[in-house]
Amino acid sequence: MITPPGLPLPINFVIVPNDTLVNVEAPHAPCGACLTHVRNLGVQLSGQIVLEDLSFDLRCGEITALVGPNGAGKTTLLRALLGEVPISGSCQFHGGPGHPTRRRLVIGYVPQRLGFDRAAPLTVADLFALTAGRQPAFLGLSDTVRAAADTSLAEVDAAHLLNRRLGDLSGGELQRVLLALSLSPSPDLLLLDEPQQGLDAAGLARFYELVARLRGRFDMAVVLVSHDLAAVARVADRVFFLDRRLLAAGPPAEVLKKIGAH
């Protein structure tokens, strides 16, 4: 896996240094000690309170499902973690002993949709070239980026898709490609927004199972956004029920019961 030079730290985060770190570059199983520590997080957009007083922890090796009605602020929370919107409160990241370098936080992000149409002259290889390296994509893939792309695609059973056009992929294949993209460089925090492009319930379930498998192979915390609690309950370790505030948090069964009581 490569670390693109100059990948900056997400601006809303404070990275808490840890002097006991071992330097491990290769992806490895979760150490269980990397901690994303969020306290009293709030977001206001154009004078409106979108998120208020959120406090939670995310641990590597865990899948947290973020559920809530439309307009609850789920995507805004992802954008806050990505550093796209100004926040109040604090986000800290404590790297555990398996975390590769002292002052690094890589956030992998899988967006809801990509702005391309079926005619777009864009291949999966192009997508890796665009995200991974300094070499402009019109010069093709460098050997290091190609190797990283091959490795990442293999993780999601999509190695054969490297030279396919994005417009020729099925919804499920595109989603796997986007997931592979977010694995290179190996992320500490993986944020998956709810897919909007052509994925049926069965496809979505398969996709979530793939995420669950990766959770055990990479040292990362996973946040999975969904409006459908039942769909994510099977793979999530914990569920956050969000509607501007964090209304419930805990194991899926517990949160289900709590929401049902509302």
Partner 1 sequence: MHFLSEFWHSLIGALPWDWAHYGYMRLALLAVFLAAPLFALIGTQVVGLRLVFFSDTLGHAALAGLGIGVVARLAEPWWAMLAWAVAIALLMTWVQRRSRAAADTVLGVFMAFSVALGIMLLSRSGQSNRLVTYLIGDVLGITGHGLAGLAVVLMVAIALAWRWFNALALTGLNASLAGSRGVRVAWVQTGFALLVAVAVTMVIPWIGLLLINAFLVLPAAAARMLARDTRQYLVWAASIALTAGVGGLISSFYWDTPTGATIVLWAAAFYALAFVIHPRRAGSSAVAEATET
For the record, the structure tokens of 164 come out as 């396919």
- Build a one-symbol-per-residue string for 68-87: x at contacts with partner 1 by CB under 8 A, - elsewhere: ----------xx--xxx---
CA distance 242 to 224: 13
Query: Count residues contacting partner 1 (CB under 8 A)?
Result: 43
Taking CB under 8 A as the criterion, the residue among 22, 117, 143, 202 binding partner 1 is 117
Nearest alpha-carbon partner for 8 in 103, 95, 93, 134: 103
Q: Which is nearer to partner 1, 4 or 32 (CB)?
A: 4
Q: Is 109 in the site for partner 1 (CB under 8 A)?
A: yes
Q: Is 42 in the site for partner 1 (CB under 8 A)?
A: no
Query: In whole angstroms, how far apart are CA 11 and each of 36, 87, 101?
Result: 14, 10, 18
Contacts of 15 (CB under 8 A, 6+ apart): 9, 92, 93, 95, 103, 104, 105
Q: Is 118 in the site for partner 1 (CB under 8 A)?
A: yes
Taking CB under 8 A as the criterion, the residue among 123, 152, 175, 226 binding partner 1 is 123
CA distance 223 to 61: 11
Q: Is 262 in the site for partner 1 (CB under 8 A)?
A: no
**Binding interface with partner 1 (CB under 8 A):** 4, 6-8, 10, 78-79, 82-84, 107-109, 111, 113-123, 125-127, 129-131, 133-134, 136-140, 165, 167, 171, 197-198
